[in-house]
Amino acid sequence: MDLKSKINLEKLPRHIAVIMDGNGRWAKQHGKPRVFGHRNGVRAVRETTEAAAELGVEYLTLYAFSTENWNRPKLEVGALMKLLVETLHKEINTLNKNDIRLQAIGDISQLPDSTRKALLDGIHNTRNNTRMTLVLALNYSAKWEILEAVKNLATQVSQQKLDPADINETLFSASLSTHDIPDPELLIRTSGEHRLSNFLLWQVAYAELHFSPVFWPDYNKEHLYQAIIDYQNRERRFGKISEQLVP
């Protein structure tokens, strides 16, 4: 039986988040510069997006550039930003054909003008699509996002628009950049690393974590299917015991 048909479509995660990792090491294995890995990573982005949409996943979030990634060599950062522009321009038609809406989380005000413009155009041009939402995390870090939410709530308290006693999980979630996106049930990280790297720290509180040894440029549909099957074979207890769970 092929992997895809082993997936229970009734129990799909609504939201899958992915830490795409290993582009640099993949390039090194091939004796090429790091940027070659990022270029080949775009194929994996396309394939994963297509597979998730075909299955009926509602949200797919990809960690494309973290706040910490600015510390990489200037040449690599420049090449990544250029690649994003190129990819966004090239793929917008495909997103529209497949009824996929593009969104972004992160401090996009700090992106180079051309990258921000390509992103905002992409978001605008796909805004009416409803089959799946593809969220790009760009210049994103969870600690930045949480601090922004805290500042926002503190301002409302100081202006006496909010009673601190009313701050609860729902209100806090609504203050994050993911306010209109459900929390991911499944978080995948590729390349054999076992870290969260400042990604969606609040939102993954109850997510199942899946670590794949595959470098991102080699990641394909079958790998995603396997991650979903593993997720479906786990028992999600949310602090309860097995006997309390409704089958």
* Residues near ligand FPP (CB under 6 A): 20-25, 38, 41-42, 45, 62, 64, 69, 83-84, 87, 136, 191, 216
**In the complex with ligand FPP, which residue's Cβ is closer, 71 or 159?**
71
In sign, the C-alpha dihedral spanning 116, 119, 124, 130 is: negative
Least separation in angstroms between residue 120's CB and ligand FPP is 15
Least separation in angstroms between residue 200's CB and ligand FPP is 15
**In the complex with ligand FPP, which residue's Cβ is closer, 14 or 25?**
25
**In the complex with ligand FPP, which residue's Cβ is closer, 83 or 167?**
83
- Cα–Cα distance, 241 to 239 (Å, whole number): 7
Q: In this structure, are residues 28 and 72 in contact, taking their beta carbons and an 8 Å threshold?
A: no
Residues 6+ apart with CB under 8 A from 99: 53, 129, 130, 131, 132
**In the complex with ligand FPP, which residue's Cβ is closer, 7 or 92?**
92
Which helix (H) or strand (E) is 189 found in, with range? strand 186-189
Q: Closest residue (Cβ) to ligand FPP?
A: 24
Q: In this structure, are residues 165 and 188 in contact, taking their beta carbons and an 8 Å threshold?
A: no
First to last CA, the chain: 25
Residues 6+ apart with CB under 8 A from 229: 3, 6, 7
Least separation in angstroms between residue 118's CB and ligand FPP is 10
**In the complex with ligand FPP, which residue's Cβ is closer, 153 or 189?**
189
3-class state of residue 166 by DSSP: helix
Least separation in angstroms between residue 179's CB and ligand FPP is 22
Least separation in angstroms between residue 68's CB and ligand FPP is 10
By annotation, the residues acting in catalysis are 21, 69
- Nearest CA among 20, 19, 139, 25 for reference residue 71: 139
